[in-house]
Structures are given as structure tokens and as C-alpha cells.
């Protein structure tokens, strides 16, 4: 371990990271949460190792207190601009604030930037981090005055590399001798749209130095010493190209001795400044020199270094590079605007051309819009006179002939009042979208691809790809890839060699090809396909263009912007987890290695989207993006390799189940229940319990420790509580909770006040009693009847009557509406036998009666180990031509003393053919009370609202979104139907004669297979159990 710097006062040392520190870095982050919003995410050694191995850092410095890591400062190449290094991340543990550790780390990064001869060091922070601003400013940073972000720039590397003032810093420490005024406000002295940042120093001998840097050119524009002042000033900041302008160098000699200044101009981007001047100044002189602003291809971005009027000044033999940035402007800003709505052939509409005069004087602009096969324009020729810097929006009326992308390189003539004119070109483009159309185009800022209602936009500024539909924000982007290792950000700053549209059957797309400078000889192509259904597929091709193989392995990192797991559903630790409340949606909360399948589905707010990838690869989570890492190995001469595609759904799939089937490439996957990211359950997920005490457990699947109070309540009574601290490192807690034996149904509530969040979860517990389950055979009306009773309920069936459960009583009251002992017509049904019966789509009740059915006593163990007892009603199809060989075994099962009837059906498929897409439908006819008009059903909507429908008064057909409860005005008992909606469709039909409940499950069965339908539970109680408390009940399965 190399010790870089040591403080005698606090024994803090600064070292450079290596993998042996990963565990201690994780511990540092886990003890720094309060400084980053107070979250409770957990970092692990494994995560740190992965994170740092995939970072673009050139260096990473750590602050140590003994062996403990207490500070972190990374240093890399700035991805947004040229000519700068960057501090991506700076952190000091909260309990070490005030010990000047942040200063040590920042100064170390600055020292390294100077050693590497970079001209500048940048960093970002968040607007609320004002307490750190004095530290940054004292270390040489200036706070840039911008609305979009909090960006700071440090020009001390340029200062320390300026030969003309080097002697001054041979005498003093620049940090300690600074006289700069520190204020917690954005920096900059503004003059004629220029922003100047000023450093100043003074020695103990009162020698002074002042230097100014110009914000947009990121360069030196003034030096003042005790001997002289030299400044550079351009006449204006916003300069229209195509003209000559002037820069003034003001030289003041304060020494009384001759001062010789040589000026060697140099071209920069579109600025032509080839000049060579030398003068000897005795007192004061202003040197005015012309320069030319040549045409530009695109508007200058505020994010990036502007073109500069640059000159190397030699001051009495010592050099100083002066650079003043200007914003080159087109004579006219011009853009084409059209709404994001679909367009329709034959219809008339209007698009708009927005104009802005960039001259500081009145000017006339004339241009002609080219003809197009897409549109017929009422007027194509325009001549618009605009006042100085004025704006105008010009309507262009058209009728649409054909969908496509209207793109034009306009030749524009700008004529000023003195008659002088300049001719220039400007690219415009707009899309006329329509259903079933594919096209591509280019405008000033983007490359576009459209396929029906969906589009793909390639941003020229940073090479991000954004899919979308109209103005909908999918909060998803394909970020710029990085070649490595070490990974380079270069592709975010360079333009592709070419961008080619792709049109194939089924999709449209684009191919962007880049040539790497960081890894000479490598070309990277991004291939993106856009399908009209709302599916995007991307892969990369990497080519070694050299005649020899690569010396090192080639790596590719392709990041995906998706900052939040917004209402996500994802396969995690073998469960299908849901974030139904958006809490815990930060990526930091989740370990990507725990994803057990190759997909994530984000339900969002009316914009569902999904990400899937090859089963052979793994996705990784960073703090605000996801990424894939590919080791492509060593490439032989002229070899091309490609990555496996990543697929994004931006509308193709509206539910997680169908997207999951697409991702795993299976269409017959069993229905799964969702598990909340914070669960509350009893008896390890088994809601059926014995005795008067039960174990209740709270579990958090996220990488976050409990920090706060957890209470377990029954109604308003607190049964157990515990105050947790994060240093206990607990993500699961269990409580022994007493239950009243006389009650069969309990709803427990867990109230969790964890950090800043209050969460409530509920779970139901059903107490099994020692009452035995009794079996009975009897004769009723010459029919053998089998009955089973568990102390709360009694059920009855007769194979000679019909394959139906004709009787279900709770506390002696009948709930079934049945034709027993003989089927008869009723309402729409003939024959009708009522009760609970089921049949396969394509058969009828009549054909069902033609088959032989038998009733037996049954015993069945469920997936939680509960042993149920009840009746089995079996029907073997022997006479039906289509379904011959199909066996239907309906189970109606109970547990001792529990008011819950379980219904599941075993289907044995021996038909000799494939049973494809047929519903198995169960109908249940209910009679909650003696008078139909007093009987009712209450339906809960997806939003939680309840609506009640009475029988005997009219006809209603209802789809059950969440819960359905049946009852009567004559008593307080309720029957609640509990079904897993992911597997079972539930509805209800009510008219003047019947109250029917129906539920169905789709079957896909091969010959020789067996299948149990998802259980449906009939729950009796005197109050409704919240459906959120029945999650574990819905997970029970039979096999």
C-alpha cells in the first residue's frame, strides 16, 4: 500500500483504491446514508468490486482512518465535454465531517489533474448541497450559473501550467494565499453576455496576482501582476458566422521597465485567427486584431466548450495561453414544428416554422421550402423581415398526400438593411406519422425512425437512443456504450461515422457506426430495430479493422437509463416480486444478481414497459442506470463479433405475465402469485395455524435494514412491538403473537414506521381446531348422498344426481341454490342442477349428465403441508366425441374447524390429442337467504370501491376486479370468494331468478398430462377480510 499523504493531526491517510479495499468501501457507504438522502440501502463487497471494475475512473482515492475507509473520491475523464477531468463521486462518512477529509481528497484529485497536464477539473453536485460549496470554491472551483444542473469548474490545472506566472507559485502555496471572496452563490462577473471567473492571491510580502477565466471558452483571458495587466476582450459574445470581428488585447505596464508582448494567434474550430504580432509597451497599449467566424454545422451547446479566439502570448519571454470563447450563431435560427399526433392522408393541417433573427439589426430572410411527394403546401416561398433578435412563428398550411419524414436543407438568404447579404443552409425536418407506415429522417438535433405509432430518436448531442410513442415519456433510454477496459466515455462526445436507416419486413431501425480513438482499430456499430407493436431490440457489432489481432481483450459496457423500478414486477430470489406502492424503487435497493429470470416489467403510470435479455447474460444495477457487460475476448484481424440482443417493450405488452412468457420463450407457464417487496405473514406463509399462539414475520426483500418501529396489531390492540436500529442489520423479524381460540378468522396488521416511511401490511390467520372432520353416507330420495362436516360447514354431493356440490351449509344455514334431487330448467339453463359444478368449454350441462359421475371421500395435502378432507366428484368423458378420454376430478375440501371451503379441479388429459386454449368453467349458484330480493352480491373495483347488486330485481353481469362478497339482509354472515386473479377469471351473473358466481381457467394440456386448477376459496365470516390480507391463501396450490 502506497501512502500518498498523511495528516499528523487526525491520522487520516489518502491511498489509491485496489480490490482489497472493496469490503471497507461498502462499509463506508453503509455508514454514509444520512449524507445521501437518508436511505437505508445496503452495499456489499461484491457490489463494490463489480462497480469499480466497470467504472470509467482513471483513479480512485480513499481516505483511511487506520484500516477504516472514511472517504471516497473518484477521478475520470469528463464525459460531457472536452478538455477536462471530472470527479464523479465524492463522499466522507458523516461521523468524519469537519475533519478536512473532503479537502484532502479534492486536492489530491486536483494534484493528479495537474500532473496529467489536463487544463480543467469539473464536478457536479446537487442544488441543496450548499454546505459543500465553500470547500469546492476554496479548492479552486467556480459554480456555473445554470438552470439545468449544478456544475462546477476548476481552472487551477491551467493556472499551474501557465509559465508566465510560475514564479509566483514558487514562493507561495496557492490554496493558502488565495484572497478570493467565497460566497454560496453561482460565480461569474457578467459583461456583455460574457461570464468571467476570477482568482486572486497575495503573498506575505503583499505581492499580488489576479487571473480571470472565461466561462464558455474555458480559457484564460486576464493576468494582472504587480508588474502588468493583460486582458483579452471580444466585441460581442453572440457572433453570427460569415463575418469578421475584433478582439482587443489591453496591455498595461506597471513596472516602469519595457514590457514585450508577442501574440501568436491560432485557429480553433470555426474561428480563424492566424496572426503574429509583437509589441513593446512602455505604459499602456490596446491591440485590436480581427478574426473570422466561419460557418458552423450545428448550434453550439451550452454543455460544451465553445469555439475560442485563442493566442499564445509571450510576456517578456514567458508564455501564457489566452482563450476567449464566443457563441457562433447562424444568421437565423429556424426549426420546424408539428404536433405529435397521427396525421391522415387527404386531410389538411398546419405545421410551423419558428424563426429567430440572430443579427443585432433588422434583417430580411428569404427561403423556399422544397416540393415533396408527402405534402402539398399552399405556399412554399417566404420572405420574412425581423427586427433585431426578434422571433416569429410562420404557419405553413398543407394537405397530406403520403406519410413520411419531410426533410430539407434550406438555402436561406439573409439581407441586412445596408444591402449586404449572406447565404447559408439550415436543415429542417418533421414527421408525418400514420398507422402502418415506416420511414426515417434527420433534423438538426436528431436522427429519427418511425414505425406506425412508435418512434426511435438518436440524439446527436450525446448519442443516446430514446424510444417512444407520441409525447409519452417512457423514462427509458439506451445510453451511449463504452469500450474498455478501462472503459472510455469517448463515444458520448463523438459523432458516428454514419447512421443508416434499416427497413425490413416487420421492423424499421437504424445502424450507427463509430470509430474508437481510445482503442485504435476498433469500430462499433449499434443496431436498433423498432417493431410496430411497440418492441425495441438492440445489439452491438464490434469489428477489428486492423491487419493484426488485438493485444488485449475487448470489453463492452452498454448502459440503459431507467432510474427507477417504477411499480416493478420482477423475478427475485425465486419469487415474483411486485413494488405496488413505488416505495423501494431506487436501483440501489436491489441486487441484480438475485434476479432469477431474464426480465423486468415496469408497470408505471399508464406506460408499462419491460426489459428482457439473453438467459446467458446478466443485467447489473448502478445507482441510476442498468448495464450489461460483455467480454468479447481478443479479436483476430478483421474479425466482427456481436452481442446478444436486449429487448424493450414500450407498449407491446401491457401485463407482466405475457411479457414474462415472451422473455423466457414459454407460452404455457403456470400462473404465479405476486409477492410484495415487504411481506407480512404468519406461520412461514401458511395462513392455517394451530393453537393459541402463532409466529408472525415481517420480511423486506430489498437491500435495506430495518430502522424504526414495527408493531403487530389485532384490530386496535398492539400484540407485539419492537424498535429496530439499522446497525442490527436485520431484514426479517419474527414475533410470537397470541390468538383467541374461540375465533376462527383473524386479521393481523403490521404497522411499520421505518425511516421516513410508514407502511401497513395485513395477513389473515385461520385457526384450525381439534374438531374432527366427519364423513357421512345417507340416502335421500333414493339417491346416495356423501357429506362431510368440519364443525363449521357441511357439504353434500350425489353422483346419481349430477356432478355438482348441491349443498353447502355454514352454521346450519344453506348457501347453495340447487335443483336436487332432480335437474330441471331454470332461467337460461336446461338442464339446470345448480350448486357448484364445472365443465370444459365446448361441452354442455346436458352432455355432462350423459357421462358417469361418482362421488368419493377425499384427502389431499396442499403446497404448505396442510391435509384437507372432503369430497371428490369425478367425471370421465366416454361418450363425448371431442373430449373422450378426459377425466375431471373436482375436489371440495375442508380443514377442521375452519370456515373455508377449498375448491380445485384435477384434469387428466388422455384424449389422444392436444387440448388447446379451452376454458374450464365453474358455475356456483348461491342462495344466501330465503328471499331472493334480499340477497345480494358486493363487488370491489380495482380502485377499492364497492358496489352492491341485489337479486330478483333485474339483470347484471359483473367482472370481479378484486373481491366479491355474498350475503343477505336477513343475517350478518358473509361468503367471500378468494381467487388468484393471475390464474383465474371471476365473474358473476344476477337476474330475477338466480345469483351465479363463475370462474374460469384457460387450459393448455398435452396428452398424458395432469393439471390442478388454481384453488378458489369460499370464506365464511361476519366481516370482509381485506384482499391484501389473503395473499398467502391465494398462493396455496395442489398437485
pLDDT at position 989: 96
pLDDT at position 7: 45
Strand pairing partners for 999? 922, 986
| Digit-coded pLDDT (tens) for 716-767 | 899 999 999 888 889 999 999 999 878 899 999 999 998 878 899 999 999 9
Percent helix / strand / coil, the chain, rounded to 5: 10, 50, 40
Single pTM value for the model: 0.84
H-type alpha helices, 198-351: none
Closest to 529 in 3D by CA, of 541, 547, 545, 511:
511
Kind and range of the H or E run holding 68:
strand 68-77
Q: At what angle do helices 45-53 and 22-30 cross, to 10 degrees?
A: 110
Residues whose CB falls within 8 Å of the CB of residue 533, separated by 6 or more in sequence, listed in order: 651, 652
Asked whether the beta carbons of 243 and 219 are under 8 A apart, the reply is no
| Digit-coded pLDDT (tens) for 288-298 | 999 999 999 88
C-alpha cell read off for 278? 509583437
Asked whether the beta carbons of 338 and 433 are under 8 A apart, the reply is no
Fold assignment, 173-329: Immunoglobulin-like (2.60.40)
pLDDT at position 871: 98
CA 597 – CA 660 distance, rounded (Å):
9
Q: How far is CA 131 from the centre of its chain?
A: 30
Same fold, 330-434 and 674-768: yes
| Digit-coded pLDDT (tens) for 495-534 | 999 999 999 999 999 999 999 998 999 999 999 999 999 9
pLDDT at position 284: 95
Burial class of 236 by CB neighbour count within 10 A (0 to 12, 13 to 18, 19+): middle
Domain residue extents for the chain = 173-329, 330-434, 674-768, 774-1034
3-state DSSP assignment of residue 168:
helix
Q: Is the dihedral of CA 872, 877, 882, 885 positive or negative?
A: positive
Q: Extract the residue ranges of the chain whose pLDDT is less than 70.
A: 1-10, 35, 37-40, 582
Kind and range of the H or E run holding 840:
strand 836-840
Fold assignment, 674-768: Immunoglobulin-like (2.60.40)
Architecture of domain 774-1034: Distorted Sandwich (2.70)
Q: Which CATH superfamily is domain 330-434 in?
A: Immunoglobulins (2.60.40.10)
pLDDT at position 11: 86
CA 249 – CA 262 distance, rounded (Å):
11
pLDDT at position 3: 43
Amino acid at each position: 500500500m502506497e501512502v500518498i499523504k498523511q495528516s499528523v493531526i487526525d491520522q487520516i491517510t489518502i491511498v489509491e483504491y485496489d480490490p482489497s479495499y472493496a469490503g471497507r468501501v461498502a462499509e463506508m457507504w453503509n455508514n454514509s446514508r444520512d449524507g445521501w438522502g437518508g436511505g437505508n440501502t445496503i452495499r456489499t463487497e461484491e457490489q463494490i468490486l463489480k462497480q469499480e471494475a466497470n467504472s470509467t475512473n482513471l483513479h480512485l482515492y480513499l481516505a483511511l482512518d487506520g484500516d477504516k475507509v472514511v472517504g471516497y473520491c473518484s477521478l475520470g475523464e469528463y464525459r460531457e465535454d472536452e478538455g477536462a477531468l471530472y470527479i464523479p463521486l465524492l463522499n466522507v462518512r458523516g461521523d468524519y465531517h469537519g475533519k478536512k477529509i473532503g479537502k484532502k481528497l479534492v486536492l489530491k484529485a486536483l494534484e493528479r489533474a495537474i500532473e496529467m497536464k489536463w487544463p480543467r477539473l469539473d464536478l457536479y453536485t446537487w442544488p441543496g448541497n450548499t454546505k459543500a460549496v465553500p470547500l469546492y470554491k476554496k479548492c479552486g472551483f467556480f459554480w456555473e450559473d445554470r438552470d439545468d444542473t449544478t456544475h462546477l469548474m476548476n481552472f487551477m490545472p491551467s493556472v499551474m501550467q501557465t509559465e508566465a506566472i510560475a514564479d509566483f507559485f514558487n514562493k507561495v502555496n496557492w490554496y493558502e494565499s488565495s484572497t478570493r471572496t467565497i460566497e454560496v452563490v453561482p460565480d461569474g462577473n457578467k459583461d456583455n453576455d460574457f461570464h468571467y471567473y476570477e482568482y486572486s492571491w497575495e503573498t506575505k510580502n503583499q505581492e499580488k496576482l489576479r487571473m480571470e477565466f472565461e466561462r464558455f471558452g474555458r480559457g484564460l483571458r486576464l493576468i494582472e501582476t504587480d508588474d502588468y495587466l493583460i486582458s483579452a476582450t471580444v466585441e460581442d459574445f453572440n457572433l453570427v458566422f460569415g463575418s469578421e470581428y475584433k478582439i482587443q488585447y489591453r496591455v498595461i505596464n506597471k513596472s516602469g521597465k519595457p514590457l514585450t508582448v508577442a501574440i501568436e494567434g491560432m485557429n480553433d474550430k470555426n474561428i480563424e485567427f492566424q496572426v503574429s504580432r509583437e509589441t513593446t509597451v512602455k505604459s499602456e497599449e490596446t491591440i485590436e486584431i480581427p478574426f473570422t467566424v466561419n460557418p458552423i454545422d450545428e448550434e453550439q451547446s451550452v454543455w460544451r466548450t465553445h469555439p475560442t479566439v485563442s493566442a499564445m502570448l509571450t510576456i517578456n519571454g514567458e508564455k501564457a495561453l489566452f482563450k476567449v470563447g464566443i457563441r457562433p450563431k447562424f444568421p437565423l435560427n429556424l426549426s420546424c414544428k408539428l404536433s405529435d399526433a397521427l396525421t391522415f392522408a387527404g386531410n389538411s393541417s398546419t405545421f410551423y416554422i419558428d424563426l429567430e433573427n440572430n443579427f443585432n439589426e433588422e434583417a430580411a430572410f428569404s427561403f423556399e421550402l422544397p416540393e415533396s411527394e408527402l405534402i402539398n403546401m399552399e405556399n412554399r416561398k417566404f420572405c420574412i423581415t425581423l427586427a433585431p433578435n426578434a422571433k416569429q412563428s410562420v404557419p405553413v398550411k398543407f394537405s397530406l398526400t403520403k406519410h413520411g419524414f419531410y426533410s430539407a436543407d434550406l438555402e436561406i438568404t439573409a439581407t441586412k438593411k445596408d444591402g449586404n447579404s449572406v447565404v447559408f443552409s439550415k436543415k429542417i425536418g418533421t414527421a408525418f406519422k400514420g398507422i402502418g407506415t415506416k420511414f426515417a429522417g434527420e433534423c438538426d438535433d436528431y436522427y429519427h425512425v418511425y414505425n406506425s405509432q412508435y418512434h426511435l430518436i438518436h440524439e446527436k448531442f450525446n448519442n443516446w437512443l430514446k424510444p417512444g410513442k407520441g409525447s409519452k415519456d417512457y423514462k427509458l433510454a439506451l445510453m451511449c456504450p463504452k469500450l474498455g477496459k478501462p472503459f472510455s466515455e469517448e463515444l458520448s462526445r463523438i459523432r458516428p461515422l454514419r447512421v443508416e436507416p434499416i427497413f425490413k419486413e416487420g421492423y424499421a431501425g437504424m445502424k450507427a457506426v463509430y470509430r474508437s480513438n481510445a482503442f485504435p482499430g476498433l469500430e462499433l456499430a449499434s443496431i436498433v430495430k423498432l417493431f410496430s407493436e411497440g418492441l425495441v431490440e438492440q445489439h452491438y457489432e464490434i469489428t477489428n479493422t486492423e491487419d493484426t489481432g488485438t493485444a488485449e481483450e475487448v470489453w463492452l459496457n452498454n448502459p440503459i437509463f431507467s432510474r427507477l423500478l417504477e411499480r416493478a414486477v420482477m423475478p427475485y430470489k425465486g419469487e415474483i416480486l411486485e413494488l405496488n406502492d413505488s416505495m423501494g424503487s431506487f436501483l440501489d435497493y436491489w441486487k441484480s444478481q438475485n434476479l432469477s429470470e431474464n426480465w423486468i416489467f415496469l408497470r408505471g403510470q399508464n406506460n408499462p414497459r419491460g426489459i428482457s435479455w439473453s438467459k446467458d447474460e446478466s443485467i447489473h444495477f448502478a445507482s441510476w442506470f442498468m448495464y450489461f457487460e460483455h467480454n468479447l475476448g481478443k479479436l483476430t484481424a478483421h474479425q466482427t463479433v456481436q452481442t446478444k440482443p436486449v429487448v424493450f417493450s414500450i407498449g407491446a405488452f401491457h401485463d407482466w405475465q405475457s411479457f414474462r412468457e415472451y422473455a423466457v420463450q414459454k407460452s404455457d407457464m403456470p400462473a404465479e402469485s405476486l409477492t410484495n417487496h415487504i411481506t407480512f405473514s404468519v406461520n412461514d406463509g401458511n395462513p392455517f395455524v394451530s393453537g393459541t399462539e402463532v409466529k408472525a414475520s415481517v420480511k423486506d426483500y430489498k437491500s435495506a435494514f430495518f430502522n424504526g418501529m414495527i408493531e403487530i396489531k389485532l384490530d386496535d390492540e398492539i400484540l407485539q412491538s419492537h424498535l429496530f436500529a439499522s446497525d442490527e442489520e436485520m431484514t426479517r423479524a419474527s414475533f410470537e403473537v397470541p390468538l383467541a381460540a374461540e375465533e376462527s378468522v383473524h386479521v393481523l396488521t403490521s404497522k411499520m414506521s421505518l425511516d421516513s416511511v410508514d407502511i401497513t401490511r395485513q395477513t389473515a390467520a385461520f385457526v384450525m381446531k381439534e374438531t374432527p372432520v366427519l364423513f357421512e353416507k345417507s340416502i335421500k330420495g333414493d339417491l346416495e348422498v356423501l357429506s362431510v362436516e368440519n364443525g363449521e360447514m357441511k357439504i353434500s354431493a350425489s353422483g346419481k344426481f349430477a356432478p355438482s356440490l348441491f349443498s353447502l351449509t355454514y352454521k346450519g344455514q344453506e348457501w347453495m341454490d340447487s335443483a336436487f334431487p332432480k335437474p330441471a330448467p331454470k332461467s337460461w339453463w336446461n338442464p339446470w342442477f345448480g350448486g357448484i359444478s364445472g365443465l370444459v368449454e365446448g361441452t354442455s350441462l346436458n352432455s355432462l349428465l350423459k357421462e358417469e359421475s361418482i362421488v368419493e371421500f377425499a384427502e389431499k395435502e396442499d403446497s404448505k403441508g396442510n391435509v384437507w378432507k372432503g369430497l371428490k366428484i369425478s367425471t370421465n368423458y366416454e361418450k363425448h366425441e371431442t373430449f373422450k378420454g378426459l377425466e375431471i376430478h373436482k375436489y371440495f375440501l375442508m380443514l377442521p374447524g375452519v370456515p373455508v371451503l377449498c375448491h380445485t379441479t384435477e384434469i387428466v388429459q388422455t384424449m389422444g390429442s392436444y387440448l388447446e386454449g379451452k376454458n374450464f368453467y365453474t358455475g356456483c349458484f348461491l342462495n344466501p337467504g330465503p328471499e331472493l330480493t334480499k340477497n345480494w352480491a358486493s363487488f370491489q373495483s380495482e380502485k377499492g370501491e364497492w358496489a352492491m347488486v341485489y337479486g330478483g330485481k333485474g339483470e347484471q353481469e359483473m367482472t370481479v376486479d378484486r373481491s366479491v362478497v355474498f350475503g343477505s339482509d336477513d343475517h350478518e354472515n358473509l361468503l367471500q370468494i378468494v381467487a388468484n386473479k393471475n390464474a383465474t377469471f371471476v365473474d358473476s351473473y344476477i337476474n330475477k331468478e338466480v345469483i351465479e358466481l363463475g370462474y374460469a381457467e384457460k387450459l393448455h394440456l398435452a396428452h398424458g398430462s395432469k393439471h390442478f386448477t388454481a384453488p378458489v376459496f369460499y370464506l365464511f365470516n361476519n366481516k370482509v377480510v381485506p384482499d391484501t390480507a389473503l395473499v398467502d391463501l391465494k398462493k396455496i396450490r395442489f398437485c
